[in-house]
Amino acid sequence: MPGTNSIDGLMSGLDTSEIIDVTIEVERQSAVLLENQQTLRTRELTVFSALEAKILALKTQLSNLNSRSDFTQSSISISDDTLLSATANDEVASGTYSINILSLAKNHQIASQGFNDATENIMGDGTITISLGNGNEVTIDIDQGESSLVDIKNAINDADAGVTATIINDGTSSNPYRLVLTGDETGQQNVIHFSSDLTGGEDLNFDTASFDDPEMLSQSSGTSSEISLSASSSYTGSSNTNYIFTVMGSGEQTVGTGNITIEWVDANDPTNTGQIVVDQADADIVGPDGLKLRFTDGELTAGDSFQVSTFSPLMQQAADAKITLGDTADGASPIIINSSTNTFEDIISGMDVDIYGITDDDSGPVTIQVGLNTEGIKENLQSFINSYNDVISYIDEQNTYNEDAGEIGVLLGDNTLLLIESKIRSMVINPITSDTTAIRSLADIGIRTDEDGQLSISNSSKLEEAIEEDFESLMNLFVDSGSSDNDSISFLVAGDVAASNQEYEIDITQAATHGYFKGEDLNDPTTHNIVIDDTNNKLRLRVDGLVSDDLVLAEGTYNSGDDIAAELQRVIDADDNIGDREVSVEWITNADGSGYLKITSGTWGSNSKVKIYTSGVDSPAFSELGLANGGTYGGLDVEGTINGEEATGSGQILRGNTDNETTDGFQVRITLDGSELVSGVDATVSLTRGMSSVLKEELLDIVDSQYGLLTYKTSALEDQIDDFEQQIEDIDERLELRRELLYEQWQALETALAELETTSTFLETQLAQIESNTSYIIGKN
């Protein structure tokens, strides 16, 4: 730009700013060339970044074809999903299963007698004790001044006793408020146990059925006899209902004078009807189900009606859900299965069922069809194909030349792009290196490339045939597989450095074991019976870090070690916390007839442990069962080497150590026991890498954030862009100095011209003066 003292052609008449701009523009052509290169490299960087994203998407999609579970997932079809739902894993055998739902699991629900007020402190003070099923008893203090029905409800709910309390109003005119207790868990074992010791006021009764006081429904103005409940009434029924009584005959009738007939009907069952006859005043008149009424002297009028409500404290019986599995056709007999909840776990290995309703003659049994999720496999394959085609199409777009339009792809002829394309194409075209499987390439399952290099399922019947007839080979096309010459040593995972067709020698030096607890020796139970009662019927275990609830043994006399072991097994299996740990209990008999209990965890390795809690348990059974001073023995992890390299065991899994040259991440499962170990190599495992693993490794070589081919390329482009930027900045700085210099030179020129102009004017003035003087002198002479 011009300096502050610049003169833009004032003397020369030239546009000096334009001259300088043109000069700078000409001299800046080298920077323009660099800017063009920078723009091109930026476009290339953008394309490679987009390509990296697409390759990462392909790599992610391959994760759906990378493990056996991706292929072996089950599909479930249910004939009536309003009655049940089901989930399954890959352990479920394909087939059709017929289920009839006989009953749903229910909570135990009981109600107290009625009270006339819910907020007044009418209850006594003291304690109430609640437990649910075999759970711990919880004692709740009820203090004076905080003894209303509402206070007691809140105290129960705050006590976390496994029971929820509510208050209902049954709408009757007398004592309508009842405390209702509902068990938090379903199942026939989860019965509410309640006792109270309240004094100085009302107490709670959840045991006694009763009648409510009579309640008039319609009454003539002339009626004067009063109706009451006899003190000797005792409800012998079991349901909550109303008995409606109607005075028969005509007009007013005097109690004690003749017979007055009163008919009754059960409101819940109109077919249940009867009569009572009032023949005297102030006497017990017997009605239905233990009801006794009294009528005072006075008048009853035909058409008068009243009701007596019954009360049964059992609102809902605790019940297990019950289903049958199987078909009755051709004389078959379905299996009856019970569950304390409406969820049935592993009714068929690997399948859980939730039930919502009862089957009947109209709905019939619910049919569950379990099969291989072939549609899911096809969807995963198609998603892989789409993602692969997306990568190839994008590469082709950048490597094209349209002669007619004169358009050139951004990366036409780029060696890195061509190398990436070649790597990816070769991985899906080349067969896997295996001699043990019939399916070795995508073409073998009907997937081929077209003339544009795009993948497609060109032969769907071939794919269907592979799924139905050679599913194992189909999986092995994509998934790493290994064959072992020892059935007790099986391949699991290859890791990242293992090579296809490599043989891996497995040398086991220690087999995995279960953790267990060994009890003390007990006398022979056949002569020294084990007696379990309410003083010694509970124990608590810790298995693999999980603590059981109190395990409550059935009371009785056990005259064999196997019987007490079976009972302990039963309560462990029923426990919500450790019931699924596959704990086993056995009675080990010594040579002298004595013996001990052995409790073994179902898991393997150093995390497999069984401990006995010997404190904090009411009515402990430890001493009676010889468990008070027994010993805990932790499990052992498998130990050994893979391919001569160090490996780490976890339970039955042996894994090659990190940074091992050939076995980093290589995993095998060892089911040998200690007696089966041999000196030296126990098994040889041959590995075949699946297409997913091979392609993922190739893609990782391309997109690895540290060493990937694209990482090197994009880093080089970024360095070039930064270098161009620096060169451009250097040129622009030099040209800015050049611009200032040119302005200074042009300013000097303009200044010189101005000085010349001044000198010229001066000389012209002097010369004119001389000429004038000369003319004057000549004229004088």
Average pLDDT of the residues in 76-101: 87
Give the C-alpha separation, 309 to 288, whole Å: 12
Using pLDDT thresholds of 50, 70 and 90, give the confidence band for residue 1: very low
Model confidence at 4: pLDDT above 50: no
Model confidence at 626: pLDDT above 80: yes
Using pLDDT thresholds of 50, 70 and 90, give the confidence band for residue 193: very high
Distances from the Cα of 470 to the Cαs of 71, 196, 370, 475, in angstroms? 13, 69, 19, 9
Write the CB contacts of 266 (distance below 8 Å, at least 6 apart in sequence). Answer: 241, 242, 243, 272, 273, 288
Give the C-alpha separation, 135 to 552, whole Å: 9
For 417-439, the pLDDT digits (tens) are: 999 998 888 888 887 776 666 78
Average pLDDT of the residues in 198-203: 92
DSSP string for 126-154: EEEEEEETTSPPEEEEE-TT--SHHHHHH
Model confidence at 606: pLDDT above 50: yes
pLDDT of the residue at 29: 93
For 464-481, the pLDDT digits (tens) are: 999 888 888 888 889 988
For 141-157, the pLDDT digits (tens) are: 999 889 999 999 999 99
Using pLDDT thresholds of 50, 70 and 90, give the confidence band for residue 758: confident
Using pLDDT thresholds of 50, 70 and 90, give the confidence band for residue 90: low
Model confidence at 212: pLDDT above 60: yes
Residue with tokens 């009947």: 360
Tell me the HSE value of 662 on the side-chain side, using a 13 A CA sphere. 13
Largest CA distance in the chain: 189
pLDDT of the residue at 530: 95
Report helix, strand or coil for 209: coil
CB neighbourhood size of 326 (10 A):
15
pLDDT of the residue at 557: 95
Of the listed ranges 49-53, 234-238, 337-341, 754-758, the one predicted with least confidence: 754-758
User: Does pTM surpass 0.75?
Assistant: no
Model confidence at 342: pLDDT above 60: yes
pLDDT of the residue at 780: 65
Task: For residue 65, give the DSSP letter.
Answer: G
b/e string for 237-268 if b means 16 or more Cβ within 10 A? Answer: beebbbbbbbbeeeebbebbeeebebebbbee
pLDDT of the residue at 762: 84
pLDDT of the residue at 9: 63
Tell me the HSE value of 175 on the side-chain side, using a 13 A CA sphere. 17
Average pLDDT of the residues in 539-557: 93
Average pLDDT of the residues in 730-738: 92
In this prediction, what percent of the chain has a pLDDT beyond 90? Answer: 63
In this prediction, what percent of the chain has a pLDDT beyond 70? Answer: 97
pLDDT of the residue at 586: 97
pLDDT of the residue at 764: 84
Point out which residues pair with 336 in neighbouring strands.
324
pLDDT of the residue at 245: 97
Give the C-alpha separation, 257 to 262, whole Å: 15
Average pLDDT of the residues in 104-129: 94
pLDDT of the residue at 10: 62
For 154-167, the pLDDT digits (tens) are: 999 999 999 999 99
Model confidence at 773: pLDDT above 90: no
- The two tokens of residue 113 are 């007698």
Average pLDDT of the residues in 646-650: 96
- Cβ atoms of residues 432 and 697 within 8 Å: no
Using pLDDT thresholds of 50, 70 and 90, give the confidence band for residue 132: very high
Of the listed ranges 70-74, 538-542, 631-635, the one predicted with least confidence: 70-74
Write the CB contacts of 716 (distance below 8 Å, at least 6 apart in sequence). Answer: none
Domain boundaries, the chain: 74-104+321-372, 106-207, 209-314, 374-481, 483-512+638-689, 516-633
pLDDT of the residue at 2: 46
For 376-387, the pLDDT digits (tens) are: 889 999 999 999
- The two tokens of residue 288 are 């239905």
pLDDT of the residue at 453: 87
pLDDT of the residue at 3: 45
Question: Nearest CA to 328 among 364, 296, 295, 356?
Answer: 364
CB neighbourhood size of 475 (10 A):
22
pLDDT of the residue at 512: 97
- Mean pLDDT over the full length of the chain: 90
Model confidence at 173: pLDDT above 80: no
Model confidence at 375: pLDDT above 90: no
pLDDT of the residue at 321: 95
Give the C-alpha separation, 568 to 587, whole Å: 11
